[in-house]
Amino acid sequence: MYKVLLVDDEALIREAISENIPWEDLGYRLTASCKNGREAMEIIRKDPPDLLLTDINMPYMDGIELARLVYEEYQDTKVVIISGYDEFEYAKQAVKYQVLEYILKPITPQEMTETLLRIRAKLDEKRNQEASIRKIQGAYSRNLPVLRGRFLNSLLLGKVDAKDIPGKMEDYRVSLQGPCYMTAIVTTDDLQPFLQQSTEYKKDLAYFAVYNIADEIVKRNQCGETLQSVDESTVLIFQGNAKMEEQVLKLCEEIQESVKKYLNLACSIGIGLCVHSLERLNESYADAEKSLEFKFLLGPGQVIYAKNLLENRTRLDVNVPRFANALVLEIKADHREGIRTEIRNFISSLREIYVARNRSIFYIQNLILSVMNGLDTTSLNEDKIFSQEQDLFHAIYQKEHLSEIAQELTAFCENLAESLHDEKDSYCKKQALFALDYIEKNYWDSSISLNSVCNYLAMSTSYFSSIFKAYTGETFIEALTKKRIEKAKSLLEHTTKKSYEIADEVGYSDPHYFSSAFKKMTGMTPTEYAKKVR
């Protein structure tokens, strides 16, 4: 229902219009009627109507003056003039004050009804337009954060014309006064500590919680704007003067500490260099992105400032062959602590030269290939070693931090050392067994010696001596002598052969030397032993 106020100084006209018009059927409600403009204004100020029906010629305040006041103060109230004066001047003024219709008296109920229907159509159209506008405004208000975020993202990527920036900042209620600007990107390192706190905790909640903490700190310090980028990281745009750098670093550390305290999450923050105009904000943002790449080198939980990277970066290179050679020696020696030390030194050298992720991976791959080329792995299970090598290369690209790759590389090298040691151990044991078999089959030969067995096994005397002693606990000569004396004892127990005959059968060409060796091992001469056992 539209509210109607009727104003006419003639009581009969007021009554006639009030009583003869089916207001409610037409969509109206007559709220009041009064006799002059002054009374009308008092009512309007208390409860503005949707439609004002007024005469022109009235005491105290005429209809034209009333229309002027309504036009100036209550533009949502529409005015229709009902007058007995068909004068151009009145009509001209009515147009000036945007009067909907100028109706001449006398007017019949039918004519008034038709007029009110036309006016209701206009009021309906206006109300629908207002409803649509309110709906659009509501949708705009609800989506303002999204629109604002899109604008700021475009600004960070350098996709907004400089001339359009001020207008868009006003439209999206962005406050960046400058004259200096810096950007920072906040990323989470590992969501698991947060997600494990409750089954209801999801990744999106973690990302929003980080954004919310950062936004609160930035707003409290009135130092810029915050937004979430398309990859869910939180982006900070700081404003300030030429000395803002120290404040930005402190705020980023505060954000990092708050995220850890309230969410149990570690986060890394990359900070870009300062720029002096919003159209160059994309340069600072690119610096912040590059800074975060060094999270791979420096590890999680870091505040990484692009300026520090530029100051600390050197042009030194990594001597991969030197590290590879040292690592090969440690692997061959199965020296686990040495392996870990060499890999730690190699990783430290990568950090010292501040190379980006891809370059670091290039150095690591070269190290692995150099190590594999320096090792003789032909005796190992080549399929297994190749599979482990491929797994390592795959892991290198999957890991987020250099320290994680160092762990994988250490495990791979220690596994290589263990495999080589096991293979070497198996080989040495096999060679020792071959030597014992050689003694068993040739002990009777007086010409058998260390050189003869080494020639048989195709080994150096020093290497053979070390592995034989390691796996039998005695030297080759001790083992040969032991075997010969054991055979001699058996012959003395089960035959009546003479001592010199037995000496010849067990490989001693000199009976006296045989007798001396026998007594040394048994405590008795061969003759004494024979008397005892026969």
Whether omega for the bond prior to residue 193 falls within 30 degrees of 0, making it cis, is no
Return the pLDDT at 286.
94
pLDDT score recorded for residue 243: 87
- To the question of pTM greater than 0.75 for the whole model, the response is no
User: Cβ(331)–Cβ(343) under 8 Å?
Assistant: no
Confidence at residue 74, expressed as pLDDT on a 0 to 100 scale: 92
Structure tokens at 121: 């159509």
Two structure tokens written together for 373: 């080329």
Counting as low any pLDDT under 70, the low residues of the chain are 85-92, 94, 136-143, 311-316, 376-383, 422-428, 534
Predicted confidence at residue 313, as pLDDT, reads: 60
pLDDT of 462? 85
| Residue 148, pLDDT score | 86
Q: What is the DSSP string of 504-530?
A: HHTT-S-HHHHHHHHHHHHSS-HHHHH
pLDDT of residue 250: 94
Q: 51, 2 in Cβ contact below 8 A?
A: yes
d(CA 189, CA 451): 64
Model confidence over 413-463: pLDDT tens digits?
Answer: 988 888 777 666 666 677 777 888 888 888 888 889 889 888 888 888 888
